[in-house]
Amino acid sequence: MLVLVAPGQGAQTPGFLTDWLALPGAADRVAAWSEAIGLDLAHYGTKADADEIRDTSVAQPLLVAAGLLSAAALGDISEIAPGAVAGHSVGEITASAFAGVLDDTAALALVRKRGLAMAEAAAVTETGMSALLGGDPEVSVAHLEKLGLTPANVNGAGQIVAAGTMEQLAALNEDKPEGVRKVVPLKVAGAFHTHHMAPAVDKLAEAAKALTPADPKVTYVSNKDGQAVASGTEVLERLVGQVANPVRWDRCMETFQELGVTALIEVCPGGTLTGLAKRALPGVQTLALKTPADLDAARELVAEHAQQA
């Protein structure tokens, strides 16, 4: 069974959309999306520097657009025929479009409002996120809580992401949990998936009222708890609530395993989730869509593992 996944914030790099925009029809599609949400996605995906695309209000719609564009280049979702879809953090909005819960324009409109609301919430207090590599999860979580930090992403494969104030993260850097090899600051502009994002939840809930979600046409795995969600209304509710709640990607991968995953493709800008899968899902073939040069290998993987959902 093939699983199609979408990465979250921090996966973006300067110019990462350049080669994708050279594909037939891609520039026109991105131009239409840009006009719809009032953000020049082509500029930010090709010419902006690292600081510009670190901005939450830019990074989030840019990531969703890249995921949708790269998946469309791979084929129609009915042709890809994944057995399940999922996304990490903002990637859940990309996955909701894969599942048919939201159309592309609605997904981008929602993520634009999400990014703006979360950027506004992040501006209240200087906060950030750091990845802990290695160590025992239970020991690490207890240590983070002692420092006042939140285990905002429990990613599995020996990785937990801590979130909180810059002072708390500095204390973590000086006092790592036992067994943790390294603490790596992430390219994000706030403590996402924590109480610091609570003000964004109400704004996103208001934006969601204008949307009419459909029930998923493909198994949709939620990173709130790794459960498959069959109701479009519930998917939308979870998309709203997850901005201030931890991401449990470890449980998503457990669900993939229970569903019988044999292959996993991560849409552009791929790499993070395939890296986790290589460590947590041994024997599962993985492929990250980084540039259009990866499409032929991805199509071969689809042909080998896809199934009708």
Catalytic residue (choose from 88, 193, 196, 305): 193
89 is catalytic: yes
CA atoms of 262 and 161, how far apart (whole Å): 27
Backbone angles phi, psi at 31, to 5 degrees: -65, -40
* Amino acid in position 40: D
Catalytic residue (choose from 34, 89, 130, 222): 89
Q: CB burial class (10 A; 0-12, 13-18, 19+) of residue 105? A: middle
Tokens at 208, concatenated? 């969601």
Residue with structure tokens 């992401």? 161
- Using alpha carbons only, how large is the chain's radius of gyration in Å? 18
Q: Concatenated DSSP letters for 259-292? A: HT--EEEE-SS-SHHHHHHHHHSTT-EEEE--SG
Active site residues: 89, 193
